C-alpha cells in the first residue's frame, strides 16, 4: 500500500519482512525442523500471495489511480497482461507439483540394544512390508534394516522409533511414523529377533505384507511358545512354514 505514495517505507517494510522470514527459517533449520527447500518454497508462496492480493484482489494500483483522478482504461486485458496471468497460473501449478513430488527416503539400519529380554515385540506402521526372522541368538540386541521411500510435501518426514518398556512386562515396540502429507509411500522393514524369552510378536499395519520366519532349532512358533498377532488392513500375512494366514 506504500509502494507509490511512500516508496522508502515500502522498501523498508519489504526488507524487514524478508529479514524476519529468513531469520525464522534459519532458526527452524538450526533446530532440525525444516530444510532449506522448505524456507524457499514458503518465501515464494508468501510473495505470490502478496502479489495476487495487491494487483488482483485488493487492486491497490487501480484504486490509487482513481483517487488521483486519472482515467482508467476499460476493456479486455492486453496481451502482456494475459501472458503475465498465464505465467502466474503455470508457476503456481509448478510450485504445487513440486511440493507434492518432493522425494523422501529413510534408510533403516539399526541395532537396538536390550538391557533385558523382552516378552513382547511389536511393529506398527501405516504402510510398509514387514519381515521378521526369529533366531537362536543372545537376547541382547535386535537388528533392524530396510528402507522407507515416498513422495510428499517437502516438510513431511519419515521416522522410525524403538521403545523398550519394562512394566508390566518387558516389551520392545518399533514404530514407523509419517508426519505430513504423502502422495506415495512404500518401504520394507526387516527385523532379526532373538527368541530369548519372547512370548508374543505383534505386527499391525494399515497397508502392507507381513512375513514371519521361525529359524530356531526348537521351532518356537510351531510349538506354541511364541504367539503371533499379525494384522494388516490391506495385504498378505505369511507365517512360518510358508503358510498364508490370510
Sign of the C-alpha dihedral computed for residues 53, 183, 179 and 158 taken in this order: negative
C-alpha cell at 119: 516378552
Burial 236-246 (b: 16+ CB within 10 A, else e): ebbbbeeeeee
pLDDT tens sequence for the chain (246 residues)? 556 666 777 778 878 887 888 788 777 767 655 666 667 767 777 777 777 777 777 777 666 666 666 655 555 656 776 776 677 667 666 666 655 566 677 888 889 998 889 999 999 998 889 999 999 988 889 999 998 887 777 777 888 889 999 888 899 999 988 887 776 778 899 999 999 899 999 999 998 999 999 999 989 998 899 999 999 998 899 888 655 555
pTM of the predicted model, to two decimals? 0.59
Is the CB of residue 214 less than 8 Å from the CB of residue 230? no
Amino acid at each position: 500500500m506504500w509502494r507509490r505514495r511512500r516508496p522508502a517505507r515500502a522498501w523498508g517494510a519489504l526488507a524487514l519482512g524478508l529479514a524476519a522470514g529468513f531469520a525464522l527459517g534459519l532458526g527452524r533449520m538450526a533446530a532440525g525442523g525444516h530444510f532449506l527447500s522448505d524456507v524457499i518454497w514458503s518465501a515464494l508462496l508468501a510473495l505470490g500471495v502478496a502479489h495476487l492480493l495487491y494487483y488482483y484482489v485488493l487492486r491497490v494500483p487501480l484504486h490509487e489511480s482513481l483517487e488521483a483522478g486519472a482515467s482508467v482504461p476499460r476493456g479486455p486485458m492486453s496481451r502482456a497482461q494475459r501472458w503475465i496471468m498465464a505465467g502466474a497460473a503455470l508457476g503456481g501449478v509448478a510450485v504445487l507439483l513440486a511440493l507434492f513430488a518432493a522425494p523422501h527416503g529413510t534408510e533403516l539400519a539399526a541395532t537396538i540394544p536390550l538391557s533385558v529380554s523382552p516378552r513382547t515385540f511389536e511393529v506398527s506402521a501405516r504402510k510398509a512390508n514387514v519381515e521378521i526372522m526369529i533366531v537362536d541368538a543372545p537376547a541382547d540386541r535386535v537388528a533392524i534394516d530396510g528402507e522407507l521411500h515416498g513422495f510428499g510435501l517437502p516438510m513431511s518426514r519419515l521416522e522410525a522409533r524403538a521403545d523398550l518398556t519394562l512394566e508390566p512386562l518387558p516389551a520392545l515396540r518399533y514404530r514407523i511414523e509419517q508426519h505430513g502429507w504423502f502422495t506415495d509411500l512404500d518401504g520394507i522393514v526387516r527385523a532379526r529377533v532373538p527368541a530369548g524369552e519372547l512370548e508374543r510378536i505383534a505386527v499391525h499395519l494399515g497397508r502392507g505384507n507381513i512375513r514371519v520366519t521361525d529359524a530356531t532349532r526348537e521351532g518356537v512358533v510351531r510349538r506354541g511358545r511364541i504367539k503371533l498377532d499379525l494384522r494388516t488392513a490391506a495385504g498378505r500375512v505369511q507365517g512360518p512354514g510358508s503358510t498364508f494366514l490370510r
